[in-house]
Amino acid sequence: MRFEAHRSLAEALDRADILGSYRSDFHIPKREDGSEEIYFCGNSLGLQPKSARRYVEEVLAAWARMGVRGHFEGDHPWLPYHEFATEKLSRLVGALPVEVAAMNSLTVNLHLLMVSFYRPTPERHKILIEEHAFPSDRYAMASQIAFHGFDPDESLIEARSRPGEVTLRTEDILELIEREGDGIALILWPGVQFYTGQAFAMDEIAGAGHEKGCVVGFDLAHAVGNLVLKLHDWNADFAVWCSYKYLNAGPGAVAGCFVHERHAERFDLPRFAGWWGHDKSTRFVMPPRFSPLPGAEGWQLSNPPVLSLAPLLASLDLFDQAGMTALRTKSESLTGYLERLLKERFDDEIAILTPPAPAERGCQLSLRLKDGKRVFEKLSASGIVCDWREPDVIRVAPVPFYNRYIEIFDFVERLKGVIEHAD
């Protein structure tokens, strides 16, 4: 097919898109001339749902009208406000309601859960991560290892890709778990690797870890709202995620956590306690002894920031309406179309680091090309918003809620122009 013919194909795909109307539920950023940007950066910050303003203004209006009574009165009282997210969050991550809670930020939640689930001994003290793990995860795990009196240089072990390869092979991860598992206390693994965009076989990793007696947790920052998740069925011990990427809940939004049902009443687990994790029936009696709630809520510390939770509720409404299965189907189609155009248009000029198999990636394609930083800057100046990651990768993430096939065509056409007209 001639490249120009793809414009008609892209337009036809947009007309047939059963999720296409959801784009109008989001604010699309605009350039100074009033034209819409091509926004392929939902893997860094998702776009604002238009309904978010209504949710936030409802909280502000209740505060103005009722003051402290807003905790207990109105359609969405603040005392149980985080619970309004529970059912929809549980469906989104494939969990039971008792297994999830909207709270804190990702790294805070990771620390709280490692207090309970990273219990090193002289014989079993290692944490397994992937090579090039997101820095915040690495910092958190190294600090936990040191806190327990071990040496991060010895206790933090990495799964590495094969020489000449960028992504990790599932069989190599499983073999490493089998070989090192007797000394591993915790496997902390991403759902999607932030740099390469590789999605992992979380069910297989969890199974292999448990066979060796390891605790298994997941960082779902780039997976929640991107992949179909089945945390309960995969038997993960715990998981954490942020809400400002694919969940479209705004900068610094309230994060979430999952704790498997089998740990729901393990009140013997050490934990850092706070009053919002205390038994609701006596929370306001304020007894001196902490009595944790069963399930993920028992790891809460403080009453949640209601104004920050409000946009998350708006976004979860949209996820519940569209359904993660339908969103994932469109995502695979969008990303596949982007990959096809890149390969047809660029020969060997661009290396796609992200795996080609749909099951091994989410929305994102990570592109490596000559003089990539200059290309990225030129694209940005032309109204295309993607993401640069040092040292040499442009991350492009077409999100099924608000991106269109014609935007993919226009992106590839503009990219070709930037590369051909180098300064």
Provide the residue ranges of all domains of the chain, joining segments of one domain with +. 5-43+323-420, 56-321
130 residue type, one letter: E
Q: So what's the pLDDT on residue 24?
A: 98
Mind listing the pLDDT tens digit for each residue in 290-326?
Answer: 999 999 999 999 999 999 999 999 999 999 999 999 9
Q: So what's the pLDDT on residue 2?
A: 66
Lowest-pLDDT choice from 69-73, 115-119, 316-320, 347-351: 347-351
Q: Is the per-residue pLDDT at 223 higher than 80?
A: yes
> What is the spatial distance between Cα 200 and Cα 186, in angstroms, rounded to a whole number?
17
Residue 323 half-sphere exposure, CB side, CA atoms within 13 Å? 6
For 123, other C-beta atoms within 10 Å of its C-beta total: 8
Residue pair 215/118 in contact (Cβ under 8 Å)? The answer is yes
Residue 293 half-sphere exposure, CB side, CA atoms within 13 Å? 22
By percentage, how much of the chain surpasses pLDDT 70?
A: 99
Q: So what's the pLDDT on residue 347?
A: 77
pLDDT, mean of residues 183-202 = 98
3-class DSSP state of 199 = strand
Average pLDDT, the chain: 96
> What is the spatial distance between Cα 143 and Cα 148, in angstroms, rounded to a whole number?
9
Q: Is the per-residue pLDDT at 288 higher than 80?
A: yes
> What is the spatial distance between Cα 192 and Cα 205, in angstroms, rounded to a whole number?
13
> What is the spatial distance between Cα 247 and Cα 240, in angstroms, rounded to a whole number?
13
3-class DSSP state of 295 = coil
The residues near 22 (Cβ < 8 Å, ≥ 6 apart) are 318, 322, 401, 402
Q: Is the per-residue pLDDT at 348 higher than 90?
A: no
Q: How confident is the model at residue 266 (pLDDT cuts 50, 70, 90)?
A: very high
Mind listing the pLDDT tens digit for each residue in 11-37?
Answer: 999 999 999 999 999 999 999 999 999
Q: Is the per-residue pLDDT at 6 higher than 90?
A: no
> Does the N-terminal peptide bond of residue 391 adopt cis geometry, omega within 30 degrees of 0?
yes
Q: So what's the pLDDT on residue 3?
A: 59
To the question of pTM greater than 0.75 for the whole model, the response is: yes
Residue pair 260/237 in contact (Cβ under 8 Å)? The answer is yes
Reported residue count of the chain is 423
Task: State how far the alpha carbon of 411 is from the alpha carbons of 90, 178, 237, 246, 345, in Å.
Answer: 35, 44, 41, 20, 12
Per the CATH hierarchy, to which homologous superfamily does domain 5-43+323-420 belong?
Aspartate Aminotransferase, domain 1 (3.90.1150.10)
Q: Could you tell me which CATH number the domain at 56-321 has?
A: 3.40.640.10
Token duo for residue 240: 């954490």
> What is the spatial distance between Cα 123 and Cα 84, in angstroms, rounded to a whole number?
43
Token duo for residue 77: 């009282």
